Structure 1
Amino acid sequence: MADILSQGEIDALLSALSTGEMDADELKKEESEKKIKVYDFKRALRFSKDQIRSLSRIHENFARLLTTFFSAQLRTFVQISVASVDQLPYEEFIRSIPKQTILNVFEAYPLDGRFLMEVNPNIAYSMLDRLLGGKGIAVNKVENLTEIETRIMSQLFQRTLESFTEAWSSIIEFDLVTEALEVNPQFLQMVSPNETVVVISLSTTIGETSGMINICLPHVVLEEILPKLSVHYWMQTKKKQRLPEEVVSLEKTVQSAPLVVNAELGRSEISIQDFLYLAIGDVIELNQPISKPLVVSVGGEPKYLAQPGKIKNQVAVQVTDVMEEGTGDEW
């Protein structure tokens, strides 16, 4: 958007043109010249502004869900909000985070690749201190994490993935699995150094401790679902119509689906002692009167009434009536 000149600036410009200090032809020439914009090929912008806005909306929802989750788990004041959404090379992101930090790497099924959640040590240890009954004091001891501390933190961040999945549910149903918890970013190589990643920085306050939580999403992993991050997808209201041959094929598949049909002769209760002494020829009395029809269940649901009999020396039942809904408990 062009700058708006004040009345004083307009008067000064007109005065300079009238006195000859500025040449109108030179101004027109400068305006007509092609403007050159510098483009850094090492810092390729592979996400459109539309996609960045969609990612920002998704993670604003994620920040709200995280705030609720951590407030309940830590029982203290928690405030999380989206500070920035940037795209940059993976190598630049790794250089921008502390040398010793908390890195949660998780698989993003069904997508082919991994996501990264980097949690500032101040925030991570404030959480750990609260979980262990403390006041939420951040004591940086990343280099000598005990197995118990590592286990507690891994389980805590694993549960945050439920909120991440819920925030993305309108785009894709994720099945996220924690792969590793690292402390040194130099040993973590998720993608090539020049690969473009989008980094969502969440400004986090827990009690009196503040810090950042960074979500790193590689372009190569999100490439498959990038079309769904456009405004056209979000605003799309037209439902896809099935072709006639698809409907016919679906009906045939449903009609040929197998169903389990059971005819219950009756029920009985005996003691364990009687059960252990059962022998060939013993008779078990059922609670089903001969005068009442049998109940036939289809797929576990009572559906028909029937009477028992035989067909060619095979035990069979003959359907006599269709049960009405809500009458199954009477039999």
Structure 2
Amino acid sequence: MTDMLDQNEIDSLLAAVEGGDVETEVDTGPSLVYSLRRGGITDAELEIRDYDFKRPERVSKDQMRALETLHDVFSRGFGASLSGFLRTIVEVKVADIEQMTFSEFTHSLPNPTCFNLLSCKPLDGSICLDLSPLIIYPIIDRLLGGSNAELFIPQRPLTAIELRLVNKIISRGMDALREAWQNIVEIKFNLEESESNPALVQIVPPNEVVVVVGFEMKMGGRAGTMSLCIPYNVIEPVVERLSNQTWEAYKKSVRNTQIRQRVAEHLEVARVPIRALLAETRLSIGDLKHLQAGDIITTEKPASAPLAMEIGGQRKFIGQLGQYRGNRAFKVTRKIQPKDRV
């Protein structure tokens, strides 16, 4: 039978090792890490990182970068939509993106807040869109005609009237999300529920992995955050579409859209010739030879008939010739149709 050390002997042995009374073997050679794919390699050749089994990374780095780029497109579209709706400049940009558990996400949010559940058909499950009170109350104040000069941020849930106003903001966010995701999968987002306490919402188990995209929102002198929580089981059926090949095609379409926008911006300041065509007729060479000052050239066009406007040599509009502030002017009536003979 093998002899076993009691606790006193174990403590004595550990004390002797720490005091240097017991010599220990030190291996000065390079340690090797053996792999079925790569064979024996040294520590210097291999990057070893800790793996947290409580927070497994189920989405690869490439897919995380693809999601970040995708939601960067969403942030620009959402910012442009809000700027037009609120009649002021609203900046929205991606601040960070990371994987965590759902409980960690809900515990990181303030209470009360503006926590919204969005269904995403045909995908199963729901995603969460959280708007910070620091930015949602200034937006509500703007919608009600305020100036946000000395706005107090109340620590209370949104009222029913405020929720109706916030729904208009969320509706524009869902439209921007749908446009951002349409090259990956056609998703129809719908607002299911709004809650002020995120701890009361359990769309997935607390230890389920979620992808959280953090946004920074600015409007005038006010700033706040927005968070989009996407459970992994929601995007799992389409996560492989975020591969390099598929994503390169998506980024190419995004670049083409950006190029078209830049070309359109340059074309907006380009000048094109515009003229109103009064009338047309034909004269013989003999009449042209005897044409003198004071002669009247008649046409077959009635004096009350509308005129055609040419833009770049192409007839585009129909209208009437008149006078405005002492200058000749053309009043556009309608677009020209193929059947018109003006």
* TM-score over 0.5 (shorter chain): yes
- SS of the residue 1:170 aligns to: coil
CA distance in 2, matches of 1:29, 1:44: 27
Among 192, 213, 216, the residue aligned to 2:205: 192
Tell me, which stretches of 5 or more residues in structure 2 are unaligned? 1-26, 33-40, 251-342
Deviates more, 1:89-98 or 1:228-237: 228-237
Name the structure 2 match of 1:223.
236
> 1:318 maps to what in 2?
none
Matches of 2:102 and 2:50, distance apart in 1 = 21
Distance 1:109 1:164 in 2: 13
Q: What corresponds to 2:159 in structure 1?
A: 146
Distance 1:167-1:29 versus aligned 2 partners, 3 A rule: closer
Deviation at 1:147, TM superposition (A): 1.6
CA–CA separation in structure 2 for the residues paired with 1:46 and 1:65: 28
Can you list the C-alpha shifts for 1:50-82, whole angstroms capped at 9, x where unaligned? 110110111000010011011111222321111
Matching residue's letter, 1:98? P
Matched, 1:73 2:85: yes
From 84, 101, 106, the counterpart of 1:94: 106
- Name the counterpart of 1:156: 169
Change (3 A) 1:50 1:144: closer
- Structure 1 residues 123-177: Cα deviation after superposition (integer angstroms, max 9, x where no partner): 1001100000011365333525322111111232122210110011110111111
Match of 1:315 in 2: none
Give 1:234 deviation, angstroms: 2.6
Match among 90, 109, 120 for residue 108 of structure 1: 120
Q: Distance in 2 between matches of 1:159 and 1:179?
A: 15
Give the alignment's TM-score, normalised by structure 2: 0.59
Root-mean-square deviation (CA, aligned residues, Å) is 2.6
| C-alpha distance in structure 2 between counterparts of 1:27 and 1:133, whole Å | 74
Whether 2:106 is the aligned partner of 1:82: answer no
Would you say the 8 A contact 1:154–1:181 is kept in 2?
A: no
SS at match of 1:158: helix
Q: What letter is aligned with 1:140?
A: I
> Alignment partner of 1:221: what SS?
helix
Unaligned runs of 5+ in 1: 1-24, 238-331
More displaced stretch, 58-67 vs 228-237: 228-237
Taking only the aligned residue pairs, the percentage that are identical comes to 36
Structure 2 matches for 1:1-16, cutoff 5 A? none
Q: Do the aligned partners of 2:157 and 2:196 also contact (CA within 8 Å) in 1?
A: no
Aligned AA (2:68): S
Contact 2:94-2:215 within 8 A present in 1 as well: yes
Between 1:44-53 and 1:136-145, the stretch displaced more is 136-145
Q: Deviations over 1:252-296 (max 9, x none)?
A: xxxxxxxxxxxxxxxxxxxxxxxxxxxxxxxxxxxxxxxxxxxxx
Distance in 1, matches of 2:185 and 2:126, equals: 15
Q: Which position in structure 2 is the counterpart of 1:38?
A: 50
Question: Hey, what's the Cα distance between the residues in 2 that align with 1:144 and 1:232?
Answer: 45
Task: Calculate the TM-score normalised by the size of structure 1.
Answer: 0.61
